[in-house]
Structure 1
Amino acid sequence: MSHKNLGWQAQTAAFLLSQNLFVFGSSTVFYAVLWDIALKTSSGAWMTYVSLATALPAILISLTAGVLADRYNRKMLIVLSAAVVTLLTLLVASIFAFMTQDLWLLLVIAVIRSFGNGLENPAANALLPQLVPAKHLTRVNGYNQILMAAMLVMSPLLAGYILSDLGIFWIFVVDALSAALAILFLSVVHVPTPSASHDRAAKRADGILAGLQYVRRTPILLAFMLFTGLAFILVAPSSQLSTLYVNRTFGSEVWHLTFNEWFWTIGAGLGGLYIARHKHFRDQLGLIAIGFAGSGLAFAEMGLP
């Protein structure tokens, strides 16, 4: 049967499996890089480097990636970015494993993967509504959250086991295998190229500028983005440095770091389950503010002697 003849349910299932395999591989690599550096350096400066290498490239490319997702075939953007990132990751990981174990190479891997995620995520987020009828989209998003939570629960456990028993290089091998399987699932999904204008002579900056102007003209959206941006800036140091906190407080054992990340994931999953069960909230912005306030109180408690 041609993939074009598959029903939307089958194509959606294949797409969700592919995306969550990408999530599984990426999160496993992230934990491995973070923990390996934390255990070898126990340095706040190195944790800062990891945070910048993980987040900054994705931020820099996000606006351009959104425009690309609106103009080009989203499936091909996902496949190309995943394939290139996987190959480059394996190349740098091989140098790290067999030539020189310079920790800066792990930062290079983090930068490569951050660029790839920054390109892939807007395309993936925009692709799901192309596959799923609008009346089923909320339910399908719920299934996707369940799958993602399962992947994020398993990935730190696998990363901890491989890092302690086999070595970090095998985590990159697992990532490559999961990416290959994800691309295989994605190959059966038929995604038409967006019908937006494809004038290649038009500057991508026009699309970026239009998006920024829309945000500026919409006060509630502007306020929301400024609030969440500031909140994440304030939350990020504590969340990123929790790995270093656990390492210095409880000792340099991989299983300590594994359980730290595992409970982060369980907490996020419980929050997502609460949202999914209630579905509608009168004051969504207030709920977000409560969530950030709760995070602040929890981090303050961590700092008590």
Structure 2
Amino acid sequence: MLKNASWKQKFFTIALGQTISLIGSSAVQFSLIWWMASKTESPMLLALAGLSAYVPQFFLGPFVGVWIDRLKRKQVIIIADLFTGMIALMFSVFFFIGEPPYWSVCIVLGVRAIGNIFQTPAIQSVTPMLVPHNELVRANSWNQFMQSGSLMLGPVVGAAMYAILPMPIILISDMAGAIIAATTVAITKIPELKPQLKDSYNFISELKDGISVFLQDKKLCIVTVAAAICMIFYMPISSFFPLMSSSYFHVTVWHASIVQFGYAGGMMLCSLLISLYGTIRNKLKTVHLGLLGLSITIFLCGILPQTEFAFWGFALLCTLMGASGNFYNIPYIAYMQETIPKEKQGRAFSIMNSLMSVTMPLGLIIAGPFAEVHGVSSWFFISGIVFIVITGMSFFLIRMQDKR
């Protein structure tokens, strides 16, 4: 009982600090983008601001796992948190002096993303060092619940702060959140792994070693490739929610906000239910069920009629879509944490996060022109079909592997 309480205390101490920091970072990012949008009204700058956070992940993401596996992960998390807060603090100085150039927001968001590139896989690889294997699903459910809530609450907090506080103070608040997150990690005792790597740095060979983690586990490789292909079609979907509400169903901004909250609420509800259940025996089968749920909900969104009544069906489907997303993601992360050697998890999670991050800009490049010509609902329809085909192929290949 004491051991059970011990890991929960450590896990929730870190998770609470990261949640507070995530709410603050989400609020600051919302405020920065809203400031730039209100000042410039430039779709091009907004697009660049959105893509800027993915550029560092594309170039650095696959390599940072080598450092995470070499260094003490506790120190990596602390430094990454403080680095992100420090960038916001330094940028606040420019607002005290005068109004910074609008394009500088893109640079700040890109530099801040460097901290997240280190922090996210480090947290993911620390979790199995704190949590018993049979509790990883529950722990990841709690984590997803808090993250979903943070991402839903962050813009609300950001809007409130933007209305009543000057921009420098908003940016300084991000440093406060980073200090809280770093402190919770600092006071928590985290086991450290003995270095398993060679003394000399050879990024190429060690990167190949991280890739080999996926190649050696054929089932993980199949699911990861299938998920990456699906994510190319899925990532633009949430960006199209407002367009579906305004251009397709012709409803108000209030209706559009219901869709966004429903989607986040579905993610939170799924996380809560999985945490109550606690155990998933066949994780990869559950991953496919989650992908199938995404397939069906996305496809149905694409065939709804253009009526206000049908909008409520769309809102319900988006809620189920959010739930299906976590039903796929939680067991997928837990499977990686259970099966990949701890000394290689930094590289494995960095490669996985980089692969999934690339799907966002790639998906937008494809989806934007397609939706412009054929309509946004057509993208939902096509994406649903692709999801069904890819999910079916992945499930079939996994079954073939099980029979060998």
TM-score interval (norm. to shorter)? 0.7 to 0.9
With a CA cutoff of 8 Å and minimum separation of 6, indicate the structure with the bigger relative contact order.
Answer: 1
Query: What is the deviation of 1:175?
Result: 1.4
- The more displaced of 271-280 and 126-135 is 271-280
Query: What is the deviation of 1:235?
Result: 2.8
Partner Cα distance (1:102, 1:241) in 2: 29
Match of 1:21 in 2: 20
Equivalent position amino acid for 1:76 in 2: Q
- Unaligned runs of 5+ residues in structure 1 are 1-5
Query: What is the deviation of 1:35?
Result: 3.2
Q: Describe how 1:220-235 pairs up with structure 2 within 5 A.
A: 220-235=219-234
Please tell me whether the aligned partners of residues 88 and 112 of structure 1 are also in contact (alpha carbons under 8 angstroms).
yes
Please tell me whether the aligned partners of residues 14 and 186 of structure 1 are also in contact (alpha carbons under 8 angstroms).
yes
Q: Describe how 1:129-168 pairs up with structure 2 within 5 A.
A: 129-168=128-167
Match of 2:116 in 1: 117
Query: What is the deviation of 1:286?
Result: 3.9
Please tell me whether the aligned partners of residues 141 and 271 of structure 2 are also in contact (alpha carbons under 8 angstroms).
no
Match of 1:291 in 2: 294
Q: Cα 1:30–1:268, aligned 2, differ >3 Å: closer, same or farther?
A: farther
Partner Cα distance (2:191, 2:286) in 1: 37
Deviation per residue, 1:125-161 (Å, 9 max, x gap)? 1112212233443333333333333333322221111
Match of 1:204 in 2: 203
- The more displaced of 121-130 and 264-273 is 264-273
Partner Cα distance (2:11, 2:157) in 1: 27
What is the root-mean-square deviation in Å for CA atoms of aligned residues?
3.4
Partner Cα distance (2:107, 2:238) in 1: 22
Q: Describe how 1:50-89 pairs up with structure 2 within 5 A.
A: 50-89=49-88
Partner Cα distance (2:167, 2:302) in 1: 30
Please tell me whether the aligned partners of residues 145 and 267 of structure 2 are also in contact (alpha carbons under 8 angstroms).
no
Q: Cα 1:294–1:98, aligned 2, differ >3 Å: closer, same or farther?
A: farther
1:103 counterpart = 2:106: no
Equivalent position amino acid for 2:62 in 1: L
Query: What is the deviation of 1:14?
Result: 1.8
TM-score when normalising by structure 2? 0.63
Please tell me whether the aligned partners of residues 96 and 102 of structure 1 are also in contact (alpha carbons under 8 angstroms).
no
Equivalent position amino acid for 2:151 in 1: L
Partner Cα distance (2:35, 2:225) in 1: 34
TM-score when normalising by structure 1? 0.81
Q: Cα 1:264–1:56, aligned 2, differ >3 Å: closer, same or farther?
A: farther
Deviation per residue, 1:217-263 (Å, 9 max, x gap)? 54433332233223222233342355688899889x9x998766544
Partner Cα distance (2:301, 2:206) in 1: 40
Please tell me whether the aligned partners of residues 35 and 257 of structure 1 are also in contact (alpha carbons under 8 angstroms).
no
Deviation per residue, 1:73-102 (Å, 9 max, x gap)? 111001111212211222123314642332
- Unaligned runs of 5+ residues in structure 2 are 305-313, 315-375, 378-404
Equivalent position amino acid for 1:240 in 2: S
The structure whose Rg is larger is: 2
Please tell me whether the aligned partners of residues 32 and 163 of structure 1 are also in contact (alpha carbons under 8 angstroms).
yes
- The more displaced of 189-198 and 179-188 is 189-198
Query: What is the deviation of 1:270?
Result: 2.8
Query: What is the deviation of 1:201?
Result: 0.9
Please tell me whether the aligned partners of residues 161 and 170 of structure 2 are also in contact (alpha carbons under 8 angstroms).
yes
Q: Cα 1:18–1:292, aligned 2, differ >3 Å: closer, same or farther?
A: farther
Match of 1:3 in 2: none
Aligned length: 298
Q: Secondary structure at the match of 1:129?
A: helix
1:45 counterpart = 2:44: yes
Q: Secondary structure at the match of 2:53?
A: helix
Please tell me whether the aligned partners of residues 42 and 244 of structure 1 are also in contact (alpha carbons under 8 angstroms).
no
Deviation per residue, 1:23-66 (Å, 9 max, x gap)? 22222223223333444445443343123112231243222222
Partner Cα distance (2:23, 2:237) in 1: 24
Equivalent position amino acid for 2:23 in 1: F
Partner Cα distance (1:35, 1:270) in 2: 29
